[in-house]
Structure 1
Amino acid sequence: MHYCLIETELGWFGLAWSPNGITRAYLPGDSVHSLRERFDRFGCETAHWPPFIDEARRLILGYARGEPVCFDCLPLDLSGVSEFYRRVYDDILGLGRGETTTYGDIARRLGDVGLSRAVGQAMGSNPIPLIIPCHRVLASGGRSGGFSAPGGSASKMRMLALEGFQNPQDAQTAFDF
């Protein structure tokens, strides 16, 4: 497995991939050195990457500039992810830019509102945040809920603000940077 680091206007992103697709992403918030340390366990950094990584880099740079981008064309390798988590991720991959849903709504769509906590666990374990848009999943009542990326819920709301989403519950948080 290989990885690359991407310097954007939001900070450093990192992507890892297999021959089958993107396997892991890290959002901005850590230093380049920390990202390299985190990625070194997955393989080596490389200057030569497949075309889908060129496209991912282009899309991530556009996203960081606030441009409307869509990650649907990117292959994802979720071979190490449980079937339930894949079902959750498939559900949120249908969300468009600035569109949100809740943990409970996903659980209902999966057939059991009692799965809301399991949906939350899937969000916290998302190996490819941004591309699998877990930042678009809110708690009930429009509250931001948790976010496991650097910066926590403030980062989540900042990402949603970049997408044009305005939530009265969290409007202050979105701009506290």
Structure 2
Amino acid sequence: MKAIPQAIPEVLLLEPRVFGDERGFFYESFNHRQFEEAVGRSVSFVQDNHSRSVKNVLRGLHYQVQQPQGKLVRVVQGEVFDVAVDIRRSSPTFSQWVGAILSAKNKHQLWVPEGFAHGFVVLSETAEFLYKTTNYYAPEHERSIIWNDLDLAIEWPVDIKPSLSAKDSAGSAFRDAEVFD
């Protein structure tokens, strides 16, 4: 596995070694020891999630103010543009974002540490998205920042207004959002 720090160095793009031939492919999608070496600390995952979405669905920007979740995310069918926003007020990269294309074809994963808001938009006709989390889902602590916040100015690769849930449509502006210290 190759770990590539992004513009925000705590966010890592993980590229697995894929072995393929005319029969198909094989790769190790997760190795705890290699993952901890890449992130430089001990990490325990407690929950796996799987979502399926259609083209132009945008999910996010989500985070939990208590019980924060680190997320290791990947796509097993289709393609998404995945985004992590640093919402740690004390961080030198506070309010900055990084984005990456994750797809079944490239098999890349993104490590989004605790203290980040996370979201993605589906670029293919459908996409199946898997993510491991370091803490349990706690709806009472979940928050959402509006996807098109002017201060964040995320460059989503969509030509039309994405399809949003009611919760995501009601996301707060970044300047009004609860953030981490």
TM-score of the aligned structures, taking structure 1 as reference length: 0.27
TM-score of the aligned structures, taking structure 2 as reference length: 0.26
Which is richer in helix?
1
